[in-house]
Structure 1
Amino acid sequence: MTSNATKKPTVAVIGTGFTGICAAIKVKQELGIDAELFEIAKDVGGTWEANTYPGLECDIPSHVYSFSFEPNPNWTRHFSPQAEIHTYLRNIAKKYDLYKNTRFETEMIRAEWNEKENNWLLEWRNVSNHQEIGSGSFDFVFAGLGPFRVPKYPQGVPIDNFDGPVVHTARWDHSIDFTNKKVAVIGSGATAVQLIPALRKLTHHLYSYQRTPAWVIKRNQFNYSRITKFLFRWVPLYMWVYRLYLFFRVDLSYIKIGYYNTWIGRFLRNLTAKSMASRLQRVGRSDLIPKLIPDFPLGCKRITKSEVYLEALAEKNVTLIRSGIKSIQGRTLVDNDGNEAEVDVLVLATGYDVQQFTGNFDVYGRNNTRLVEQWMKYAPRTYKTVAMHGFPNLFLAMGPSAGLTHHSAVVMIEIQIDYAIKCMKHLGRNGLAAIEPKAAAQEAFITKLQKSFDGTAFKGGCSSIFLDQNNEIFGIWSGTVCSFWRELRKPNYNDFLLYKKN
């Protein structure tokens, strides 16, 4: 990092999704450090390796849901399917030779800050053999765990009583045969919107249990022609301009969220409601309109995109049930209205436990402060979404306050990793060992962020996976991606505690 350094710092990267891959590449390019990567799965990919349920596609345009330093001229569709995104990440990992530095099927179980040595002691284990344990010390840790890794199970639903196969979309079981089966799907978020149209085609009958409907707009999916892909490949400027156009077009869609209670926000909500009603009328199911058009603001929850979901719910072999499940007896589901449905398979499309995304990973910072206890007590708090008071040299990406409901997470990740790299360079230039945000700076950032949610659809009154136990918004960024870039463009080192080398 510096000309007088005798030893390069060591870096651990946890996870090999977009965050882990980006972090490993950037610390090598910017700092000349070969990071050691840890991956719980058998291959790289993160979310796009773990999630494989039918119908899974990205709802952000492919050309912005990719690294700016690794544009892909070969995207086949405007919105890419899971397999294509996974292949993209695998190819990048191969290109930058990340496989050789990755411990696969390895679960990180503990991290403890060593104040005497100013480094992290990490402990991990083999996912198949928990007796096979390893450990090591690292100067810096990048936690790319991802918010979409720990399945969330429906509260109050006695799923253990179900006498048949139960599968969560986050842990899809491809051995289950859905052909001509009666299937119940619990959930109505983005996952269910993608899953139901694909699963319906296989089943004899599908029951969709949803307590809250979703706002649904058309994706306008299309395939890229061979000529277009040819131009993307051989005229890079053309692809760069196209990506820039998509970036700003998608970022402008924040208007629906940030200005939902203005005349333009109300206009867009009414327009979306009319579009949904028109689609249901077109397939002869006007009776579903009051059940499927939400009563909360557009953007309060993630706006889902599908041109086939509403139409799938209107099919003869689909029954929409807005009443929650009261009990399960054998293979019979009884809803709160007393209606019964006998099914063969129970599918949980109930999302992820964002607040508990650390899973089995236990993190102890300065003064033996346990991260999970702190987050459960006070809600997840970070400084600039990247660092945390009490946890030096630990950098996050796509953790608390960094999620988006309208734009590409990949762009956010690049901004966050760039911020962390700048902090590491500052330490190197000044002969310092560790960096940690001050408590006051972190609290000021959180206070400012929470205030910025006022007047946005996020506070429109709906329940959300981004709300903590105190109904405080913790999981998402309040504004546009451009505003996020401005916030993280240049670190203010007066906001940090800087530790000298021992």
Structure 2
Amino acid sequence: EVHDYLRDCAHKHGVLPYLRYNHELLTAHWNDTHHHWDLHTTGGRYTTQFLITGTGYLSTPAIPDIPGIHTFTGTLFHSAQWNHHHNLTGRTIAVIGTGASAIQFLPHIQPQAARLDLYQRTPPWIAPKPDKPNTPRHTWMLRHLPGYQQFRRNFNKHGREIIAYFMSRPTRTTAMKNMATTHLKKSVPDPHLRTLLTPDYTIGCKRLLFSNTWYPAIQQPNVNIITTPIKNIGPTHITTTDGTTRHIDTIILATGFTPTNQPITHRIHNANGTTLNQTWTQHGIQAHRGTTIHGYPNLFMLLGPNTTLGHSSQTVIIEAQITYIIQALKTTTTHNITSLHPRHQAQTHYNTQLQNKLKNTVWNTGNCHSWYHDTHGNNPTIWPTYTHTYHKQTNHFDHTNYQTTT
């Protein structure tokens, strides 16, 4: 349904003639003489005045460095690269990971498996999911009642802002914790199993998950929950640190992604030939308004540093960034500007304020290590406060924070 919606929008608004399929970006170099980007793709070379990346945070699978993983002779794949040709019926399956990815697919494959071993390193906080089909009356209202669809969208968008209030005040997350704890208690009658499934960190420190099917699925007779760390993987088995070996024929990795080491950053070069990854490795992952980056003129990044949400829809942030980018492009047209470059002072000031807001939030103080953090323990990922605050900051292009050339 989502795919059909996107295709319909692209057709309706005349976007399709401008799409270039099967064009992987290999390198992008900023030409400081002519003020444009030189792009080298698998479909040819291009020049463009502005470069906008939309490659996302959760797009590149993280493959765990488990000893022997490459010696496995069965079928192994990451959940983001699903092997649709591999029939799971009657298989002995190992699922490694219990984050959002596993929550989504495990309840669907559990009935097919002869045996399913679930390897859990850290249990997630899970809340009930208010996910019901639309009634005919509600569907009619959405389609025919003027303003109702916009009302529902705004109700959902602004209603979730209360979660941001709790996340920024870890001592006030008791109500959220009680909701998740009650859901666990109602769903899992075995007290020993409940203990294994109860997190030891503040709710919200890792991504808060919503599911009505996870707990029922992992309590089925064909599922084994294994909390002992994995020692190694062999050709046909997984061995844990207690010496137990379990034979399996399929491994599905639900081990997440690499948001703080995005492949696109290795392919974008500034005028000196330095890659964006090298810049961020040396100076820290940061951007101005999460969208533009000092040292890289005319580059706009959708879902750049500190634009990920822990409480609402990511679309809200993307819409705000698109507004900001459009305002920037209009500014260049109006004033005959050929390049925009965020000032170092402006970017530093913006990120200092942002990190100060993050400092006392649950994402930084919740006693966990999540994909929000980089290898140094910094948090270059999460937007620390309300979405309307970000909208306000990006509603108008702050051209005084940019160096411009004509």
TM over 0.5: yes
Letter of the 1:279 counterpart: S
CA distance in 2, matches of 1:467, 1:390: 24
Tell me which of 109, 125, 128 is aligned to 1:199.
109
Aligned: 1:291 with 2:196: yes
Provide the residue aligned with 2:100 in structure 1: 190
Matches within 5 A, 1:389-408: 389-408=294-313
Provide the residue aligned with 1:165 in structure 2: 75
CA distance in 2, matches of 1:270, 1:239: 32
Tell me which of 12, 26, 29 is aligned to 1:112.
29
SS of 1:320's equivalent in the other structure is: strand
Provide the residue aligned with 2:404 in structure 1: 498
Tell me which of 251, 264, 286 is aligned to 1:381.
286
Return 164-173 or 491-500, whichever deviates more: 491-500
Letter of the 1:119 counterpart: H
Letter of the 1:255 counterpart: Y
Aligned: 1:268 with 2:176: yes
SS of 2:62's equivalent in the other structure is: coil
Residue 218 of structure 1: how far off its partner (Å): 0.8
Residue 334 of structure 1: how far off its partner (Å): 0.5
Residue 399 of structure 1: how far off its partner (Å): 2.4
Aligned: 1:336 with 2:241: yes
SS of 1:395's equivalent in the other structure is: strand
Residue 360 of structure 1: how far off its partner (Å): 8.1
Residue 357 of structure 1: how far off its partner (Å): 2.2
Residue 278 of structure 1: how far off its partner (Å): 2.6
CA distance in 2, matches of 1:360, 1:447: 22
Q: How many residues align?
A: 405
TM-score between both structures, scaled by the size of structure 1: 0.78
Q: Cα 1:157–1:445, aligned 2, differ >3 Å: closer, same or farther?
A: farther
Provide the residue aligned with 1:484 in structure 2: 390
Q: Cα 1:233–1:157, aligned 2, differ >3 Å: closer, same or farther?
A: farther
Aligned: 1:308 with 2:216: no
Letter of the 1:490 counterpart: H
Q: Cα 1:360–1:160, aligned 2, differ >3 Å: closer, same or farther?
A: farther
Provide the residue aligned with 2:139 in structure 1: 229
CA distance in 1, matches of 2:264, 2:35: 25
Letter of the 2:121 counterpart: R
Provide the residue aligned with 2:63 in structure 1: 153
Return 300-309 or 428-437, whichever deviates more: 428-437
CA distance in 1, matches of 2:83, 2:66: 24
Matches within 5 A, 1:83-162: 84-126=1-43, 134-162=44-72
CA distance in 2, matches of 1:147, 1:105: 21
Letter of the 1:272 counterpart: A
State the Cα deviation string for residues 58-88 of structure 1 (Å, max 9, x = none): xxxxxxxxxxxxxxxxxxxxxxxxxx22221
Residue 396 of structure 1: how far off its partner (Å): 0.8
CA distance in 2, matches of 1:497, 1:431: 14
Say what the alpha-carbon RMSD is for the aligned residues: 1.5
Return 267-276 or 320-329, whichever deviates more: 267-276
CA distance in 1, matches of 2:275, 2:378: 21
Aligned: 1:277 with 2:185: yes
Q: Which runs of 4+ in 1 moved over 3 A?
A: none
Tell me which of 367, 391, 399 is aligned to 1:461.
367
Return 300-309 or 156-165, whichever deviates more: 156-165
Task: Tell me if structure 2 keeps the 8 A contact 1:157–1:325.
Answer: no
State the Cα deviation string for residues 396-434 of structure 1 (Å, max 9, x = none): 111221111211111111100100111111122112111
Provide the residue aligned with 2:88 in structure 1: 178
CA distance in 1, matches of 2:158, 2:178: 24
Provide the residue aligned with 1:362 in structure 2: 267
Provide the residue aligned with 1:449 in structure 2: 354
State the Cα deviation string for residues 220-279 of structure 1 (Å, max 9, x = none): 2101122222221122311111111111112222233122213xx223323322321231
Task: Tell me if structure 1 keeps the 8 A contact 2:66–2:233.
Answer: no
Identity of aligned residues (%): 27
Q: Cα 1:359–1:151, aligned 2, differ >3 Å: closer, same or farther?
A: farther
SS of 2:107's equivalent in the other structure is: helix
TM-score between both structures, scaled by the size of structure 2: 0.96
Matches within 5 A, 1:421-436: 421-436=326-341
Q: Cα 1:96–1:406, aligned 2, differ >3 Å: closer, same or farther?
A: same
Tell me which of 251, 263, 266 is aligned to 1:346.
251
State the Cα deviation string for residues 467-495 of structure 1 (Å, max 9, x = none): 11111001121112112112222232221
Letter of the 1:385 counterpart: G
Tell me which of 223, 238, 246 is aligned to 2:148.
238
Task: Tell me if structure 2 keeps the 8 A contact 1:379–1:468.
Answer: no
State the Cα deviation string for residues 289-343 of structure 1 (Å, max 9, x = none): 1111111111101101100101211111111111221012221100122222111
Task: Tell me if structure 2 keeps the 8 A contact 1:256–1:299.
Answer: no
Provide the residue aligned with 2:314 in structure 1: 409
Matches within 5 A, 1:242-253: 242-253=152-163
Residue 361 of structure 1: how far off its partner (Å): 5.5
CA distance in 2, matches of 1:299, 1:109: 37
CA distance in 2, matches of 1:125, 1:334: 42
Structure 1 unaligned blocks of 5 or more: 1-83, 127-133
Task: Tell me if structure 1 keeps the 8 A contact 2:266–2:275.
Answer: no
Aligned: 1:318 with 2:223: yes
CA distance in 1, matches of 2:340, 2:95: 47
Task: Tell me if structure 2 keeps the 8 A contact 1:106–1:124.
Answer: yes
Q: Which has the higher contact order (CA 8 A, sep 6+)?
A: 2
CA distance in 1, matches of 2:302, 2:91: 41
Q: Cα 1:256–1:161, aligned 2, differ >3 Å: closer, same or farther?
A: farther
